[in-house]
Amino acid sequence: MTAHLYRDPSAPAPERVRDLLGRMTLTEKVGQVNQRMYGWHAYERHDGGHRLTDAFRAEVAAYDGMGALYGLQRADAWSGVGFADGITAADGAGVADMVQRHVVENTRLGIPVLFTEEMPHGHQALDGTVLPVNLAVGATWDPALYEAAAAGVAAELRARGGHVALVSALDLVRDPRWGRAEECFGEDPYLAAEFTGALVRGARSAGVAVVLKHFAGQGATVGGRNSAATELGARELHEIHLAAARAGVRAGAAGVMAAYNEFDGLPCVASRTLLTGLLRERWAFDGLVMADGGAVDRLVRITGDPVAAGARALNAGCDLSLWDACFPRLAEAVDRGLVAERTLDTAVARVLALKFRLGLFEQPYRTAAPPEPRSGPRELSERIARASVTLLAHDGAVLPLAPSTRRIAVLGPNADSIAQQTGDYTAPQRPGSHHVTVLDGIRSAAPPDAEITHAPGCDLVGGDLSGLPGAVALAAAADVAVLVLGGSSARSDDTSFDTNGAAVVTSADPVGMTCGEGVDLADLSLPAGQLALLDDVAATGVPVVVVLVQGRPHALPDLSGTAAAVLSAWYPGPWGGRAVADVLFGAAEPEGRLPVSVPRSAAQLPVFYNAKDHGYRGYVDQPAGGRYPFGHGLSYTTVEYAPPRLSRTRVTPDDPTLTCRVTVRNTGARPVRETVQLYVRRLSGGSSWPRVRELRGFVRLRLSPGERAEAVFAIGADTLASVTRDLRLAVEPGELLLETGPSSAGTRGARLVIAPPN
C-alpha cells in the first residue's frame, strides 16, 4: 500500500479529507453519505455469537464503503431486538469490531464506518443504563448533574463501539399535546440551551460525538401534531427555538439532525435557509447535518421523484441521510445535473472530517474486552430522578410522611410498572434487574412495621371503574393514600409502528399508551378512570398524595379540595421509585422545578410563560394562564427573597456588564436546595414586541434552616441580548427589569436602562 496522505495522522485533517476525496469514485462518495440500513439488520445471532448478514455485506459492496450504520446496538419493541437476538454490553465491542473490520478490510479505500446510536436518555441498547427522560432532566435545573450522567452513558456507548450519539435536545414543549414532550428539556430556550451544552460536553468527555435532534422548531408543530406543519415565522424561530442549537454548536456538537417539520413551508431537510444560510453561513458550523429517518423520502411529495428529492436535500445542506431511498441514488442526481458533484463532495468531506476527528482512521476498533460494569451512570440516573421530583401543591402538613405513618395505600395504574416509568426510546430491561417502582420504593423506605397495601384501581386509559371499590377500600383503611397517576409511553410487542419507529396509535385503536413519539394527545386531562379513582379515594377522607408519573404536563383540575399534595415525578427511570419514596419520606427534599407550564386544560393552550406581553385578560371561561407556572416547585420549607440589587442601573450596548445580587433566606425548619431564577422583562426598546419575561439565568443554593445566602448573577451581553430586526442577537437600547424569584410567577424586579451608544 502506498503511503497516502489521508493515512498520515500527522497531516492536518482538512488535507487528509481533501486527499481522500480526490481518490474517491462517485459511487464511493455516495456510499459515504448513505446511512440506509437499520443496524440490527447488519448482524444475526449464530451459534451463540453474532455474524454479519448478507444484506450488510451487499450494502457495503454496493458503494464500496458505508458512511454510517445507524443503531447497530439498538434494541426495543420497534426494532424487535431483545435479549434473545440482540447485542448486550458484553457483546457490543466485539460485534462493532466485526462490522468495522468487514468495512475496513473489504473496501478499496478502507474508510471506517461511523456507528451512530440512539442515546435519548441513555444508550438505547441492551444493558444501556436508562436515565430519566429529558423532561425530568429539565426539572432538575442541574446541568452539571446531567453533564456527569451524559458522560456516563456516553462512556457506555463508546465502550461498546459506538461513535455518535443521537440525542433529542433542541425541541421545546410549546404544545404539550405533542407525544415527544418527554424528549424535551422543557418549554424554555435558556433552560434547554443549558442542558444541551451540558450534554455535548459530557458526551465529548467520553469521546462520543453528539448529533443534536432536531433542527429546528419541531416543538412548534401545529396542534402538537408530530412531525407535521408549523406556521412558525423566522422571528419566533430565532427568539425561541434556536438557543439550544446555538449552545450545542458552541459546545462542540458534531452535528444536528434536520427535522421532519416544516419551516417556511418546507421540511427542514429541504430548507437551505436553515441548513446553509443559518447553520453554515451565519453560525459557521462545520459539523454534520444528518437527515431524520426517512425525512428525505418524504420530499418525494414535492419533487415527485426520489432522485430529485435526494438532490433537493443535498442542495439544501443535508450531508448524511437516514434510512431513505434517495441519497443512495445521488449518483443519478449528479448524472442528471440535479446537483453538482462538488456539492456532494462537501457533504462527503463533512462525514470524513468527523471520522478523522474521532480518530477512526487510526483506531477503527474497540478492544474486544467487555467493559467493566459501570455503577456511575446508574447512580446518576437515580440522582437525576431524585432531583426532578417536583412538588406542585402541598397543604404543608402531609409531607414528608411522618415516621408514625403505619398504613399506606399505594394506588393507581402507575404505582408498580417499570415500563410505565421509563419513557419512550427505552431498550428492553434485563430480566431480574433490581429496578424500583414507586410501590417498591415506598415499601423499602417505609418504617419496617408499616403496612403497605396496593391496587392499581383503574387502567391507565379509559373509564373502566370496576377496580375502584377495591382500591377505595384500601385507601379507607390507610393513614395516607399515595395515588400514582399519569401517562405511559411503554411500547410492547403488540405496538404498531410507523416506518420511522414512531408508534401508530389512534383513537380507533388505543392500546393503553398516551405518550411518546407518534402518540399525541388532544385532551390533556387525566383519563376518566384515573380522575374517578382520585375523587373516590379523596371522598374517603384519607389524606391523598398524588404522584404524577408522566412524560408531559397533564392538564390538572383544581386539586386543592382533593389532594393534600401533588408531585410530578415525570418518567423517573428504572430506579425512580426510590427517588419518589425518598422525597415522600423526607430522606430527600423536593428539588424539582417545573421546566414547563402545567395547563388547566387543552382548551387554553398554549400556556408557556414567555408569551408575548399583550396584557391578555383571559378567555371568558378560563384564564389564559396555566395551573402551575414555569419554574414553580415547592419545598418542605419556606424561602424569602429580598429584591434584586444591581451593581449598575445604566449600561450601554458596548458595555453591558453588571452584577445582579439577591439575598434569599430559608425561613422554615428544613433544609432546601433553592433554585433562584433570573428573568429579563423588557419595558421598552427592542425591535420586537416584548415577552412577559424570559429566563436568563439560575443559581442553585443549599440553605440550612434559618440560613441566608446571596445568589449572584453576572449579567452580560448574553443575558441582555434580544433578536434584532435582521434576526441577529444584540443588546438593544431600552429599559428592562431584571427579575429574580422562585418561579416565573413570583419575581421581583430592578430597573435597568440600556442607554443608546454615544
Q: Which is nearer to its own copies, 129 or 722 (CB)?
A: 722
CA distances from 61 to 108, 351, 641 (A): 10, 19, 66
Nearer to its own copies, 32 or 271 (CB): 271
- 314 vs 583 by CB, closer to its own copies: 314
Tell the smallest beta-carbon distance from residue 515 to its own copies (Å): 9
Q: Could you count the other beta carbons within 10 Å of the beta carbon of residue 706?
A: 11
Per CB under 8 A, the list member of 5, 109, 476, 624 interacting with its own copies is 624
Residue 461: all three cell numbers together: 386509559
Q: Rounded to an integer, what distance in angstroms lies between the CA atom of residue 360 and that of residue 570? A: 38
Question: How many whole angstroms separate alpha carbon 51 and alpha carbon 58?
Answer: 14
Burial degree of 467 (CB within 10 A; 0-12, 13-18, 19+)? middle
Nearest CB to its own copies, comparing residues 144 and 522: 522
Nearer to its own copies, 612 or 650 (CB): 612
Gyration radius from the chain CA atoms: 26
Give me 231's grid cell: 406556521
* Segment interacting with its own copies, rule: CB under 8 A, options 200-208, 369-377, 383-391, 512-520: 512-520
Name, in order, each residue with C-beta under 8 angstroms of 728's C-beta and a sequence gap of 6 or more: none
Residue 386 as a binder of its own copies (CB under 8 A): the answer is: no
Binding residues among 656-685 for its own copies as defined by CB under 8 A? 683-685
Q: Helix axis angle, 438-445 relative to 576-585, nearest 10°?
A: 50
Of 578 and 627, the one with the shorter C-beta distance to its own copies is 627
Closest CB 312 distance from its own copies, rounded Å: 11
Q: Is residue 434 at the binding interface for its own copies, with CB under 8 A as the rule?
A: no
Residue 717: other Cβ atoms inside 10 A? 15
> What cell does 428 get?
428492553
Cβ contact 161:97 at 8 Å: yes
Asked if residue 295 binds its own copies (CB under 8 A), the reply is no
Determine if 127 is a binding residue for its own copies (CB under 8 A): no
User: Under the criterion CB under 8 A, does residue 532 sit at the interface with its own copies?
Assistant: no
How many residues does the structure list for the chain? 758
Kindly tell me which residue out of 604, 637, 677, 744 binds its own copies, with binding defined by CB under 8 A: 604
- Which residue, 180 or 383, has its beta carbon nearer to its own copies? 180
Among 10, 105, 284, 304, binds its own copies (CB under 8 A): 304
Q: Compute the distance between CA of residue 364 and CA of residue 357 in angstroms, rounded to an integer.
A: 12
CB of 660 to its own copies, least distance (A): 22
729 is an interface residue for its own copies by CB under 8 A: no
Which span sits near its own copies by CB under 8 A: 32-40, 70-78, 299-307, 533-541? 299-307
Answer for which of 27, 433, 506, 704 binds its own copies (CB under 8 A) is 506
- 422 contributes a contact to its own copies by CB under 8 A: no
Decide if residue 723 touches its own copies (CB under 8 A). Answer: yes
**Does 620 sit near its own copies (CB under 8 A)?**
yes
Query: Which residue from 510, 643, 705, 757 is in contact with its own copies, where contact means CB under 8 A?
Result: 510
- How far apart are CB 689 and its own copies at their closest, in Å? 5
What letter represents residue 64's amino acid?
A: D
646 binds its own copies (CB under 8 A): no
Is-cis flag, bond preceding 413, omega within 30? no
Taking CB under 8 A as the rule, does residue 650 contact its own copies? no
Residue placing its CB nearer to its own copies in the complex, 305 or 536: 305
By the rule CB under 8 A, 494 interacts with its own copies: no
Q: Does 424 bind its own copies (CB under 8 A)?
A: no
266: contact with its own copies by CB under 8 A = yes
Q: Based on CB atoms, which residue is closest to its own copies, 683 or 721?
A: 683
CA distance 385 to 580: 8
By beta-carbon proximity to its own copies, the closer residue of 12 and 233 is 233
CA angle 238, 696, 556 (to 5 degrees): 85
Q: Given the complex with its own copies, which of 109 and 683 has the nearer CB atom?
A: 683
611 binds its own copies (CB under 8 A): yes
Q: Which stretch binds its own copies (CB under 8 A): 14-22, 470-478, 515-523, 663-671?
A: 515-523
Q: Is 268 in the site for its own copies (CB under 8 A)?
A: no
Residues 6+ apart with CB under 8 A from 247: 193, 194, 196, 197
Does the CA dihedral 148-152-157-162 come out positive or negative? positive
CB-neighbour burial class of residue 506 (10 A; exposed 0-12, middle 13-18, buried 19+):
exposed
Neighbours of 283 (CB within 10 A): 14
Q: Name residues contacting its own copies, limited to 683-702 (CB under 8 A).
A: 683-690
Smallest separation, CB 136 to its own copies (Å)? 21
Q: Does 580 bind its own copies (CB under 8 A)?
A: no
CB of 172 to its own copies, least distance (A): 12
> Which of 244, 274, 605, 680 is close enough to bind its own copies by CB under 8 A?
605
- Helix H or strand E segment including 190: helix 189-205
Which residue reads 425512580 in cell numbers? 576
3-state secondary structure of 517: coil
- Is there binding between residue 513 and its own copies (CB under 8 A)? yes
Among 49, 359, 463, 618, which residue interacts with its own copies (rule: CB under 8 A)? 618
Grid coordinates representing 352?
A: 470524513
Among the listed residues 12, 373, 403, 623, the single contact to its own copies using CB under 8 A: 623
Element housing 659 (H / E): strand 658-666
Q: What is the DSSP string of 363-431?
A: -----SSPPPPPSHHHHHHHHHHHHH-EEEEE-SSS-SPPTT--EEEEESTTTT-SGGGT-SS-PPPPT
Nearer to its own copies, 449 or 494 (CB): 494
Binding range to its own copies, per CB under 8 A, among 80-88, 227-235, 419-427, 443-451: 227-235
Could you tell me which residues are beta bridge partners of residue 673? 702
Residues 6+ away with beta carbon under 8 Å from 345? 21, 29
List 11, 52, 229, 642, residue binding its own copies (CB under 8 A)? 229
Pick 604 or 666: Cβ nearer its own copies:
604
Determine, following the binding rule CB under 8 A, whether residue 276 of this chain makes contact with its own copies.
no
Angle separating helix axes 89-105 and 54-63, nearest 10 degrees: 40
**C-alpha dist (Å) from residue 165 to 66, 117, 328, 358:** 18, 5, 23, 13
Q: Which amino acid is it at 519?
A: V
Residue 493 DSSP symbol: T
* 232 lies in the site for its own copies, by CB under 8 A: yes
Footprint of its own copies on 163-182 (CB under 8 A)? 177, 179
Q: Considering the rule CB under 8 A, would residue 464 count as an interface residue with its own copies?
A: no
State yes or no: residue 265 binds its own copies (CB under 8 A): yes
- Binding of its own copies by 737 (CB under 8 A): no
Maximum CA pair distance of the chain? 84
Nearer to its own copies by Cβ, of 105 and 509: the residue is 509
| Nearer to its own copies (CB atom), residue 84 or residue 620 | 620
The reply to whether 514 sits near its own copies by the rule CB under 8 A is yes
Among 47, 54, 621, 654, which residue interacts with its own copies (rule: CB under 8 A)?
621
Three cell numbers at 571? 418518567
Size of the site for its own copies (CB under 8 A): 73
Distance, in Å, from the CA atom of 168 to the CA atom of 192, rounded to the nearest integer, reads 11
Interaction between residue 755 and its own copies (CB under 8 A): no
| From 46, 359, 362, 619, residue interacting with its own copies (rule: CB under 8 A) | 619
Q: What is the DSSP string of 83-136?
A: TTTS--HHHHHHHHHHHHHHHHHSSSS-PPPEEEEE-BTB-SBTTPPPPPPHHH
Q: Which of residues 182-221 bind its own copies (CB under 8 A)?
A: 220
